[in-house]
């Protein structure tokens, strides 16, 4: 038999521990690490918000789209497809109108490589080597768009009923009028006009009523068949101008209704140099140009230089009605910025995402509208290269151009001589 000894061990009653409340649980030792990680994440998010906010403030100063009635309007800040809407008054719009002509609503100039990539156009390594830098382009045309006539925007918006507002391109041949037309049609619209006349009536015209290639003196005196019926006083003309040296070279490739007796190997040809040219114009100091604007009007100019001078001096001197004059080069290198400014000026609205035609060279707006016209890649490379800019000019032609090109026009639009 085993003896069993029973030992009585006294027991102690322990008090029940009180349950921790929520705060105690959060700050408990086992949760402290998680809590510190959450604080760190919050700090990081706050810093990023501050950085984005400051960047957006800087961006807003150069990317503003106005729309709405004359009493109140809406500012659309556009960045990477994002829109932020804020109500502003006419004072803000007036201040924007009074800004100088250098980059009123400009974004930083994109490189040619960026423009081509965004358009879905591939480039070879050989072509990439030939691409000029942004600095090279700025040396040719400046650091941002030059737009003449911004001070007339407010007058246009206040004098033309928004439901009747129209925008249309004008310019000499080979200056980008088709590019203006299609870019506006793709991206700008007048809501009040669409409400009155239907969704297809955006307010964007392919032509000014008097004919986009005709001089401004035709305004109110002639109606172009392809322009349709429109009140000239309700239309904001967007006039395209091009570097005279590259424009004259373009006229060699596409003369349209402009004629002059130069020999094929001498183009653009400003001064009679070959036997062929001297035979047509013995003793002449320049090769005269004739341009048949309409069936009843053929105008004669002393040279291509004089044609360019006359056509754009007339526009620059216009004070009787609002207009904008924009450079072809800015349409190439600052297209979205320029079209946004134009749309804003007339009181229109921009679509959510800026659109070009199809992203391919042959379908880019204004680049391949005519047989043999340059594609986007070719145009970007051609008009950014100072060496190509000089191609085809004889010394006598350069001397003539330097002497006769209007210096007011050259200085106003930031063009320089060869």
**DSSP, residue by residue, 324-364:** EEEEHHHHHHSHHHHHHHHHHHHT-EE-SS---SSSSGGGS
Compare 79 and 253 and report the one with higher pLDDT.
253
Q: Taking a C-beta distance cutoff of 8 angstroms, is the pair 120, 359 a contact?
A: yes
Compare 166 and 228 and report the one with higher pLDDT.
166
Return the percentage of the chain with pLDDT > 70, whole number. 71
pLDDT digits (tens, 9 = 90+) for 24-59: 554 555 566 666 777 777 765 555 544 434 443 343
Q: What are the φ/ψ torsions at residue 399 (nearest 5 degrees)?
A: -60, -40
Residues 6+ apart with CB under 8 A from 94: 154
In the sheet that holds 258-259, the strands lie side by side as 258-259, 289-294, 297-301
Sign of CA dihedral 241, 245, 251, 254: negative
DSSP-assigned states of every residue in 132-200: PPHHHHHHHH-SS-BEETGGGHHHHHHHS-GGG-EEEEEESTTSSHHHHHHHHHHHEE-HHHHHHH-TT
Among 224-233, 300-309, 343-352, which stretch is predicted with the lowest mean pLDDT?
224-233
Sign of CA dihedral 90, 96, 101, 103: negative
Compare 44 and 317 and report the one with higher pLDDT.
317
Q: Where are the domains of the chain?
A: 60-412
User: The pTM is what?
Assistant: 0.73
Q: Which run of H or of E encompasses 239?
A: strand 235-241
Residues 6+ apart with CB under 8 A from 324: 147, 148, 149, 150, 152, 153, 236, 237, 238, 239, 342, 345
Q: What is the pLDDT of residue 374?
A: 55
What is the arithmetic mean of pLDDT over 366-382? 64
Q: What is the pLDDT of residue 128?
A: 86
Q: What is the pLDDT of residue 45?
A: 54
Q: What whole-number distance in Å separates Cα of residue 50 and Cα of residue 62?
A: 19
Q: What is the pLDDT of residue 357?
A: 61
What is the arithmetic mean of pLDDT over 85-109? 42
Taking 90 as the threshold, does the pLDDT of residue 377 lie above it? Answer: no
In the sheet that holds 64-67, the strands lie side by side as 64-67, 73-79, 82-88
Taking 70 as the threshold, does the pLDDT of residue 11 lie above it? Answer: no
Q: What is the pLDDT of residue 200?
A: 95
- pLDDT grade for 407, boundaries at 50, 70 and 90: very high
What is the arithmetic mean of pLDDT over 286-307? 96
If you compute the radius of gyration of the chain from its CA atoms, what whole number of angstroms results?
A: 32
Compare 67 and 353 and report the one with higher pLDDT.
353
Among 84-93, 120-129, 240-249, 291-300, which stretch is predicted with the lowest mean pLDDT?
84-93
Compare 277 and 229 and report the one with higher pLDDT.
277
Q: What whole-number distance in Å separates Cα of residue 209 and Cα of residue 228?
A: 7
Q: What whole-number distance in Å separates Cα of residue 235 and Cα of residue 255?
A: 28
Q: What is the pLDDT of residue 31?
A: 61
- In degrees, rounded to 5, the angle at the alpha carbon of residue 333 between the alpha carbons of residues 330 and 338 is 45
Among 74-78, 122-126, 292-296, which stretch is predicted with the lowest mean pLDDT?
74-78
- pLDDT grade for 101, boundaries at 50, 70 and 90: very low
- pLDDT grade for 113, boundaries at 50, 70 and 90: confident
Taking 90 as the threshold, does the pLDDT of residue 121 lie above it? Answer: no
Q: What whole-number distance in Å separates Cα of residue 61 and Cα of residue 77?
A: 9
What is the arithmetic mean of pLDDT over 114-140? 87
21: helix, strand or coil: coil
Q: What is the pLDDT of residue 24?
A: 55
| Number of helices followed by number of strands (H, E) in the chain | 18, 12
């Amino acid at each position: 038999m085993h003896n069993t000894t029973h030992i009585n061990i006294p027991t102690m009653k322990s008090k029940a521990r009180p349950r921790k409340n929520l705060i105690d649980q959060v700050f408990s030792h086992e949760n402290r690490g998680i809590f510190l990680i959450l604080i760190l994440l919050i700090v990081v998010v706050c810093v990023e918000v501050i950085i984005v906010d400051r960047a957006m403030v800087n961006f807003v100063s150069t990317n503003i789209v106005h729309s709405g009635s004359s009493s109140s309007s809406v500012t659309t800040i556009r960045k990477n497809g994002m829109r932020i809407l804020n109500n502003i008054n006419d004072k803000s719009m007036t201040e924007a109108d009074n800004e100088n002509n250098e980059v009123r609503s400009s974004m930083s100039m994109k490189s040619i490589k960026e423009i081509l990539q965004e358009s879905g156009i591939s480039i070879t390594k050989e072509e990439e080597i030939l691409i000029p830098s942004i600095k090279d382009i700025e040396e040719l045309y400046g650091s941002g768009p030059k737009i003449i006539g911004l001070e007339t925007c407010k007058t246009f918006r206040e004098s033309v009923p928004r439901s009747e507002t129209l925008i249309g391109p004008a310019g000499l041949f080979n200056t980008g009028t088709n590019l203006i037309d299609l870019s506006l049609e793709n991206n700008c619209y007048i809501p009040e006009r669409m409400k009155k006349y239907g969704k297809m009536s955006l307010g964007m015209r392919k032509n000014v009523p008097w004919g986009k290639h005709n001089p401004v003196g035709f305004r109110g005196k002639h109606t172009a068949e392809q322009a349709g019926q429109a009140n000239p006083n309700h239309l904001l003309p967007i006039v395209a101008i091009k570097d005279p040296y590259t424009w004259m070279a373009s006229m060699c490739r596409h003369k349209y209704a402009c004629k002059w007796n130069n020999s094929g190997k001498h183009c653009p040809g400003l001064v009679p140099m070959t036997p062929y040219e001297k035979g047509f114009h013995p003793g002449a100091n320049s090769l005269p140009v004739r341009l048949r604007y309409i069936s009843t009007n053929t105008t004669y100019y002393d040279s291509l230089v004089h044609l360019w001078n006359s056509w754009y001096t007339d526009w620059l001197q216009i004070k009787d009605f609002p207009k904008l004059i924009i450079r072809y080069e800015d349409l190439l290198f600052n297209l979205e910025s320029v079209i946004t400014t134009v749309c804003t000026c007339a009181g229109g609205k921009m679509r959510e995402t800026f659109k070009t035609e199809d992203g391919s060279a042959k379908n880019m707006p204004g680049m391949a509208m005519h047989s043999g016209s340059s594609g986007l890649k070719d145009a970007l490379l051609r008009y950014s290269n100072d060496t190509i800019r000089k191609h085809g000019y004889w010394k006598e032609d350069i001397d003539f151009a330097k002497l006769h090109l209007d210096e007011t026009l050259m200085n106003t639009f930031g063009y320089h001589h060869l």
